[in-house]
Structure 1
Amino acid sequence: MTSLRHDPVTFDIIQNSLQAISDEMFAAMRKTSMSAVIYEVLDMGTGICAANGEIASSGAGIPAFIGVLDKAAKAVIRKHPIATIHPGDIFATNDPFYGGVTHLNDMVLVMPVFVEGEIVAWTANIAHWNDVGGMVPGSMSTDATTIFQEGIRVPAIKLVEKGVASQAVIDLLTVNSRLPAFLKGDLWAAIAAVRIGDKRILDLVKKYGKDTFVTAMNHFMDYGEQVTLKALKDLPKGVFPFAEEQDNGLIYKVSIEITDDAFIVDLADNPDQTLSPSNASRDGVTVAAQMAIKAVTDVAAPANGGSFRPLVLKTRPGSVFDAQEPAAHGFYYEVEIRVFDLILRCLAPHLGDRLSAGSFASICGTVIGGPHPDTGRHYTIVEPEIGGWGGMLGRDGNSAIFSGFHGETFNCPAEVAEARYGLFVEQLALNPEEGGEGEWRGGKGIRLDYRVRADGNFLTCGYTRSRILPWGMEGGRDGTPNYIDVIKTDGSQKRYAFATGVALNEGDIVRVVTGNGGGYGDPAKRDRAAILDDIKNGYLSPARARDVYGVEV
């Protein structure tokens, strides 16, 4: 018989309390950070891990970031003997070879929660820091060939010991950044967030007891596994291979096997790691696979470590999806989002109405910086971009939202961009390019113009789906590409997808264009009223309506 303190209602209260704690950590970090990429864009994530490092609960933020936190906690556990970990300690890592998972700009903080001398949980967060040193401002260079060129490496070290911050470590971090004040402000915001999580968990344990708390957490992990296993039984069984050419000409391959109790993603047969920053760690690719299995099993229930127990990932060490030291990782996110998209495209024809046609599916990382025209101080704006999603059975694609990989984030408002950075926002509009038509059309990307206000500025960018377009399904048309046009004051214009240090001077325009999603279904079957509505709203020209839909206006 279940004891009163171990009843399902108590367990549910504890799990919801963990969710509330994760959300409070998120709010604390957002409200106290220095950088707009954190407090406006929400390029961050918070969570709580079990004593063994498994993710137990997460706050809002980037889904791919939430999947990092447990792996960072496990790296700390592997590296540091339990006897050397004390209440009040906080660990930091940004290195993909030491539990950082992503790239050096993303700093993870992990804090143990002690009860009666025993670790019962870990609080953790991650956020993008605008500059951590390296060969270029912003720390992301398309020319980097090793991780040593990308900034300072922090290999799961102790940042705070028994509640006292290491000034030596803080000095080392700040002196390596071109934006030391912002780095220090973002660091203390992260420290505040893990500390508030620690305090709230201790309050929760005090109320319900350590045994009940730990049992409830483990119970919810088991429930997460049961949810995934139940969903797997409803999926088609078999082995599903797929290959897709990438913008750079490489062929990425995946083979997915679905059984009643396993979701096996085989990425072993893929190209070698590159002498470029377009590599990903095995941990990072695991996150992409975790997001994919969640997308095709259960999108409503909260994810935790148990949700991913049925996932089996196969990679080849030394490949682009399991890069070994000292591979550069600056643009890891464009590799991982390609894995996520590859899995979805592989499964889409077999899952009926569960998945959409292709989306713009790129982070479209955009870095602009240089001397601020008003203060002369160095500034750097780091922005992911919004774009168009694919149409799906029964509905048009969403317009101007982030990719599924990037999740619960926001674009930086024009007012903030102009106030904090040395730029004018000339326009933000939906992408008028033609493409993505279907019975249900793809959503629209954006066209965003930044006008540079001072000489000596620069642009760094990393966009995929710039040549291989968002794919249509069931007869729908392909979408349109992601790219940047730099328009000089003399009227000359050049297009970029991956570039570092593109020179910008006063009056130049950086035009960001993100793709329209692919269409779903035969365009000839689209409802005439929907076509006329698209024309009225400026989504479709009369000429295109005639050519693609056969509708005369």
Structure 2
Amino acid sequence: MARIDSITVDIIENALKNIKEEMDVTLFRSAMSPVIREQHDCFPMITDAEGKMVVGNFGSHIPEVIKQFPEGMHDGDVIFVSDPYSCGGSVSHVNDWMIILPIFHKEKLVGYSSMFGHVIDVGGPVPSSMPVTATSIFGEGIRFPPVKLYDKGVLNEAIIKIIKANTRTPLENYSDLMALVASCRTAEKRVKELCERFGTDFYFEALDALLNRTEKMMRHLITNFLPTEPVSFEDYIDDDGLGNGPFKMKLTMWREGEHAYFDWTGTDKQSPGPINYYLSEPMFKMFIGSFLISVFDPAINFNDGFYDLLHIETPEGTLMRPKSPAALGCRTHALSRLFDVLSGVLAINSPESSPAAGYGTSPYFIFSGQDEEGRSFNLMEVMYGGLPGRPIGDGLDGHSWWPAFVNIPTEYLETYYPLMVNYYKTGTDSGGAGKHRGGNCNEKLYTILASGQVSIHDDREKIQPWGINGGEAGSSSSKLLIKKDGTQIRLSSKVDNVDVEKGDQILFITGGSGGWGNPIERNPNLVKLDVARGLVSKEKALNSYGVLLGEDLEVEIEETESIRAKMREKVGELQSFNFGDRDQTLVKL
């Protein structure tokens, strides 16, 4: 076998990263759904011939899907899947459509490209296909087990007909599906060019080197940062939208030598409602690796090279591994809260090295109906919240858990949907106070310009995001319907088909995030800047940070020093975790 040098490995690695970016660009320019096109709710991947992810985000699902085709893969095949239960949770609800494309070079399989994206509507009883009231996956829309959308280059027209007949948005869904295929074909073309340039043997050797490099670095992280004694942490989802809850998510972690173990035993049983999350083992391994790499060594490339070092236990019949046909449509509450739990368990022995909790969900605003000209519309917008305070600095204000996600521009919303955005801003004082402030929430006020129905998916309404290492807890979420006559109606965080009329308003407030470190250690000039920017009020500056600001917002230095001295005497030993009102809230619930 040819011996490859490290420079060539680096060239191929960066070429693959660029290919992944080109996959995204192809999709964004071709898809029609705003959740994909504007918000970038999609995840690309390129693997080796065995299906191991070399570049990507979510970990490889390829082997589990491919084994369902005993006839094997051929040049021109394209696989389509949207059923979580038939692909081990590789897609986590039926709105996520995944394409897998085998890549052949000179009749030899050299890898796979894959992309999945969230399409707006796949049928079911409510627009956008994520009913809060679903009690099984059968009530959430059409789903496809792994099928060949193209068989040796020939399109299966029957699949297209079935798709179009089972959605409120047939044009958008067809365009999104073909955009996903085009994205994978882009990767196919570029990978073939790499094989042509370097030769298949060199290409294979480079992929092995990339996987081995990541494994070696991950062994170092596991050995140096994970405990040998088991530690546990738990957090809660408020409810399932059907009156059940809260639901506990508990994770225990330890290491044995260079191997790490993560056990979800103690997590509550699966929910009657649709907040269950079918946790894919490869995906969770990628989450763990992503977290460790991001915190301790961001230079490491994400790939499947370290998977053999991680061991996952997820009891069947629980919230994180429900039995079919449990409903999964609102699984993002558990999916996002997973990061808070993972952060917490890693922080047990070193809170000074870990972030606090964030808004811990993926809020959705859904608005559908017919405009005044009789045209149907269906909007689903992903909302964001506060990201947690961190050892290296403040949390991000009004940001997505997924770094690549962005907001839908107001101009786009107001052009294509009958609504007006009155304001879109971060919520003052919603981030937990800390030496490094927790990120603030989002507040968005809509004015409805056509009668229709609004659905809302959110969490952290009852149980706050916790602070760490002396930081305070962040704020909870809330929703308000303001009728055109001025009547105000509180909406729950999970509700379907709220009737709205022209002139009504919806105020959508997401959760904030926890702060990191003792607030009275924060530089007073940073507190002054927060107040000037509207991120912190003068009252919170005084009460939480011990900073007295004058009328001109200048720091009253002597008074501030005196106030902070008194606060230090009262504080005593700092808490590793500050759960806010969680204990009292859990008792009430």
TM over 0.5: yes
**C-alpha deviation, 1:198, in angstroms:** 1.4
**Contact 1:486/1:509 (8 A) holds in 2:** yes
CA distance in 1, matches of 2:173, 2:264: 36
- Output one character per residue of 1:48-98: Cα deviation in whole Å (capped at 9) or x when no partner: 12222211112xxxx4xx33xx21x223311002x4422111010011012
**Which residue number in structure 2 is paired with residue 316 of structure 1?**
315
**C-alpha deviation, 1:390, in angstroms:** 2.1
Alignment map for 1:202-351 (pairs within 5 Å) = 202-238=192-228, 239-248=230-239, 249-283=246-280, 286-297=282-293, 298-351=297-350
The correspondence for 2:526, drawn from 512, 526, 530, is: 530
Secondary structure of the residue that 1:350 maps to in structure 2?
Answer: coil
**Which residue number in structure 1 is paired with residue 462 of structure 2?**
467
**C-alpha deviation, 1:212, in angstroms:** 1.8
Alignment map for 1:448-459 (pairs within 5 Å) = 448-455=444-451, 457-459=452-454
CA distance in 2, matches of 1:393, 1:35: 37
The correspondence for 2:498, drawn from 493, 498, 502, is: 502
- Aligned CA distance change for structure 1 residues 309 and 482 (closer, same or farther; 3 Å): farther
**C-alpha deviation, 1:342, in angstroms:** 0.6
CA distance in 2, matches of 1:225, 1:177: 43
- Output one character per residue of 1:397-438: Cα deviation in whole Å (capped at 9) or x when no partner: 2212112xx231101010011112221111111112455112
How many residues are treated as equivalent by the alignment? 536
**Contact 1:389/1:443 (8 A) holds in 2:** yes
**Which residue number in structure 2 is paired with residue 144 of structure 1?**
134
**C-alpha deviation, 1:362, in angstroms:** 1.6
- Output one character per residue of 1:175-199: Cα deviation in whole Å (capped at 9) or x when no partner: 1010001011111111111112212
- Aligned CA distance change for structure 1 residues 251 and 288 (closer, same or farther; 3 Å): same
**Which residue number in structure 2 is paired with residue 552 of structure 1?**
548
The residue type equivalent to 2:303 in the other structure is: N
**Contact 1:289/1:340 (8 A) holds in 2:** no
Larger mean Cα displacement after TM superposition, 431-440 or 133-142? 431-440
**Which residue number in structure 1 is paired with residue 483 of structure 2?**
488
**Which residue number in structure 1 is paired with residue 400 of structure 2?**
402
CA distance in 2, matches of 1:329, 1:434: 30
CA distance in 2, matches of 1:511, 1:38: 24
The correspondence for 1:33, drawn from 14, 31, 34, is: 31
- Aligned CA distance change for structure 1 residues 485 and 292 (closer, same or farther; 3 Å): farther
**Contact 1:368/1:381 (8 A) holds in 2:** yes
The residue type equivalent to 1:161 in the other structure is: D
The residue type equivalent to 2:454 in the other structure is: L
**Which residue number in structure 2 is paired with residue 98 of structure 1?**
86
CA distance in 2, matches of 1:434, 1:16: 39
- Aligned CA distance change for structure 1 residues 218 and 393 (closer, same or farther; 3 Å): closer
**Which residue number in structure 1 is paired with residue 163 of structure 2?**
173
Larger mean Cα displacement after TM superposition, 186-195 or 346-355? 346-355
Larger mean Cα displacement after TM superposition, 363-372 or 347-356? 347-356
Larger mean Cα displacement after TM superposition, 319-328 or 290-299? 290-299
**C-alpha deviation, 1:43, in angstroms:** 0.8
Secondary structure of the residue that 1:97 maps to in structure 2?
Answer: helix
Secondary structure of the residue that 1:330 maps to in structure 2?
Answer: coil
- Output one character per residue of 1:336-392: Cα deviation in whole Å (capped at 9) or x when no partner: 21222111112224235432222112211222222134x422222222212212223
- Aligned CA distance change for structure 1 residues 210 and 3 (closer, same or farther; 3 Å): closer
- Output one character per residue of 1:445-482: Cα deviation in whole Å (capped at 9) or x when no partner: 11111211111x12222212221111112222110012
The correspondence for 1:441, drawn from 437, 440, 443, is: 437
The correspondence for 1:47, drawn from 31, 35, 45, is: 45
- Aligned CA distance change for structure 1 residues 8 and 446 (closer, same or farther; 3 Å): same
- Aligned CA distance change for structure 1 residues 200 and 536 (closer, same or farther; 3 Å): closer
- Aligned CA distance change for structure 1 residues 446 and 311 (closer, same or farther; 3 Å): same
CA distance in 1, matches of 2:185, 2:434: 51
**Which residue number in structure 1 is paired with residue 14 of structure 2?**
16
CA distance in 1, matches of 2:430, 2:157: 55
The correspondence for 1:384, drawn from 382, 385, 396, is: 382
Unpaired segments ≥5 residues, structure 2? 240-245, 550-589
Larger mean Cα displacement after TM superposition, 475-484 or 433-442? 433-442
**Contact 2:29/2:37 (8 A) holds in 1:** yes
Counting aligned pairs with the same residue, the percent is 28
**Which residue number in structure 1 is paired with residue 243 of structure 2?**
none
The residue type equivalent to 1:322 in the other structure is: R
**Contact 2:237/2:334 (8 A) holds in 1:** no
Secondary structure of the residue that 1:388 maps to in structure 2?
Answer: coil
Alignment map for 1:63-74 (pairs within 5 Å) = 63=57, 66-67=58-59, 70-71=60-61, 73-74=62-63
- Aligned CA distance change for structure 1 residues 281 and 12 (closer, same or farther; 3 Å): same
**C-alpha deviation, 1:228, in angstroms:** 0.7
**Which residue number in structure 2 is paired with residue 477 of structure 1?**
472
CA distance in 1, matches of 2:117, 2:478: 25
Q: Name the TM-score, length of structure 2 as normaliser.
A: 0.87
- Aligned CA distance change for structure 1 residues 544 and 116 (closer, same or farther; 3 Å): closer
**Which residue number in structure 1 is paired with residue 564 of structure 2?**
none
Larger mean Cα displacement after TM superposition, 249-258 or 434-443? 434-443
Show structure 1 runs of 4+ deviating over 6 A.
none
The residue type equivalent to 2:252 in the other structure is: S
**C-alpha deviation, 1:19, in angstroms:** 1.8
**Which residue number in structure 2 is paired with residue 132 of structure 1?**
122
RMSD between aligned alpha carbons?
Answer: 1.9
Secondary structure of the residue that 1:263 maps to in structure 2?
Answer: strand
